[in-house]
Amino acid sequence: MAVFDSTTNQRTACPVTRVQQMVAGKWKIILLWHLTHGTHRFHELQQLTGISKGTLTRQLRELEADGLIQRHVFGEVPPRVEYSLTDAGHSFLPILDQMAAWSEQHFQGE
Chain residues that interact with a copy of itself, rule: CB under 8 A: 1-4, 8-11, 13-20, 23-24, 26, 28-30, 33-34, 37, 48-51, 67, 88, 91-92, 94-96, 98-107
Rounded to a whole number of angstroms, the minimum distance from the CB of residue 60 to a copy of itself is 15
| Closer to DNA by Cβ: residue 70 or 96 | 70
Rounded to a whole number of angstroms, the minimum distance from the CB of residue 41 to a copy of itself is 16
- 59 and 30 Cβ atoms separated by less than 8 Å: no
Helix orientation angle between 42-49 and 28-35, rounded to the nearest 10 degrees: 120
Compute the distance between CA of residue 25 and CA of residue 61 in angstroms, rounded to an integer: 11
Q: Would you give the distance in Å from CA 14 to the centre of its chain?
A: 19
- Convert residues 60-89 into a mask of x (bound to DNA by CB under 7 A) and - (unbound): xx---------x-x---xxxxx--------
Rounded to a whole number of angstroms, the minimum distance from the CB of residue 16 to DNA is 16
Compute the distance between CA of residue 19 and CA of residue 101 in angstroms, rounded to an integer: 19
Helix (H) or strand (E) holding 80: strand 80-85
Q: Would you give the distance in Å from CA 51 to the centre of its chain?
A: 14
| Closer to DNA by Cβ: residue 19 or 101 | 19
| Closer to DNA by Cβ: residue 9 or 108 | 9
